[in-house]
Amino acid sequence: MVTKLRLAVAAGLVGALGCLDPALGCFALMGTPPDWVKGADVILRARVVAQIESSSSKRPAWKTKVRFQPVEVLKGAPAGFDLTFEGVLTDRDDRNDLPVPYTMVRPGGRSGNCYAFNYRLGQEYLLILKQVDRELTPYWASLGATNEQVAGPGDKWLLWVRQALKAEPAGRVSNTALHPTAAKLTPCGRG
């Protein structure tokens, strides 16, 4: 009886996890460093200049956004786009602790929400942005290193991305091409 109950509970959990909305959690790392560089519409080094109150957040818990000032454009043109993204200021650095090229988001994004939303005022970040719903966002490749804190123009991650851009063939990559299972991650009942 206990064994059957355990099996039933396990089967229920597996089924429930399969029905979660992808926006509620991460299923897998989306893409690789070359995929992020190739798939980005805009890549820039930018400095955090302010935190602003926001009631237009896509996530109900977020009440603030972080504003960035471009320092260097590496790909594309951010002209006409607001460089303000959901997030919160922190008093700590959050540099990636992995070797370059980073294969995963910095520590602030590894706590279950797929993305790092914490930023430090006055610090620079390498933003690998994609246009989604007519807005640029760094939050498009789950667990991807798309908004990493950098240490100026000689930062190793920044140098790697510059080199990857030089090697990148012309053309664009869709989100589905970046991660073939991304299109299959649909919530139950929504087809």
One-letter amino acid for residue 44 of the chain: L
pLDDT in single tens digits along all 191 residues of the chain: 544 444 343 333 333 333 333 344 566 789 999 999 999 999 999 999 999 987 665 655 668 999 999 999 999 987 777 799 999 999 999 999 999 999 999 999 998 778 999 999 999 999 999 999 888 999 999 999 999 999 999 999 999 999 999 987 654 443 333 333 332 222 223 23
User: Which pLDDT belongs to residue 82?
Assistant: 78
pLDDT at 85: 92
Residue 112: its pLDDT value, please?
78
Determine, yes or no, domain membership for 5: no
**Res 182: pLDDT:** 32
Strand partners, 130: 137
Print the domain residue range for 133. Answer: 26-170
For the domain that residue 126 is a member of, what is the CATH number? Answer: 2.40.50.120
**Structural domain includes residue 43:** yes
Distances (CA, A) of 59 to 56, 121, 145: 9, 22, 21
- What does the pLDDT read at residue 11? 37
pTM: 0.73
The DSSP letter of residue 150 is: E
Q: Is residue 18 part of a domain?
A: no
Specify if 149 maps to a domain. yes
Q: Does 132 fall in a domain?
A: yes
Residue 44 in domain: yes
* Number of structural domains the chain divides into: 1
Residue 3 lies in a domain: no
Would 191 be classed as within a structural domain?
Answer: no
Query: Looking at residue 1, what is its pLDDT?
Result: 53
* Distance (Å, whole) CA 65 – CA 158: 24
